[in-house]
């Protein structure tokens, strides 16, 4: 009963480095999304996907790339890390965007950029 699994849980990067945050779900959900959470800002949508091969931008997409080659995986790539990207990142999934089912969240990745 894994649900939504995010790796790593913690990461420290230097400015300019690149990295990929991993997200996998085992519930056969079509809809997956990435959020960042900063103090006082709530959860802001970065990118989302309504199915394999389909991605779209959310509220704050700049500096991030995503791809969805399988139903299970939705990695988030930071191309050139900046201190402004220091945040807690949550991956989430639902059956479909228009569904009466809840959205499931991973445990989060705490990312610090020095």
Partner 1 sequence: QQPVQSPQAVILREGEDAVINCSSSKALYSVHWYRQKHGEAPVFLMILLKGGEQKGHDKISASFNEKKQQSSLYLTASQLSYSGTYFCGTVLNDMRFGAGTRLTVKP
Q: Contact residues for partner 1 (CB under 8 A)? A: 33, 35, 40-45, 48, 56, 58-59, 90, 92, 94, 97-98, 100-108
Least distance from partner 1 to the Cβ atom of residue 43, Å: 4
Cα separations in angstroms, 52 against 70, 94, 100, 108: 5, 14, 21, 22
State the virtual CA torsion across 30, 95, 65, 68 in degrees, nearest 10: -20
Structural element, H or E, at residue 24? strand 19-25
Q: Would you say 63 or 108 has its CB closer to partner 1?
A: 108
Minimum distance between the CB of residue 106 and partner 1, rounded to whole angstroms?
Answer: 7
Minimal distance in Å, beta carbon 63 to partner 1?
Answer: 19
Which residue, 20 or 99, has its beta carbon nearer to partner 1?
99
Nearer to partner 1, 17 or 50 (CB): 50
Handedness of CA 8, 45, 42, 79 (dihedral sign): positive
């Amino acid at each position: 009963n894994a649900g939504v699994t995010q790796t790593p849980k913690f990461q420290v990067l230097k400015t300019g480095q690149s990295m990929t945050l991993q997200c996998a779900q085992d519930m056969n959900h079509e809809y997956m999304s990435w959020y960042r959470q900063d103090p006082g800002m709530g959860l802001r949508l970065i990118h989302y996907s309504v199915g394999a091969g389909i991605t779209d931008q959310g509220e704050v997409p700049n500096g991030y790339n995503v791809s969805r080659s399988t139903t299970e995986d939705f990695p988030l790539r930071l191309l050139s890390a900046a201190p402004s990207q220091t945040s807690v990142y949550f991956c989430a999934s639902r059956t479909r965007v228009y569904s009466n089912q809840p959205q499931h969240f991973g445990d989060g990745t705490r990312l610090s950029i020095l």
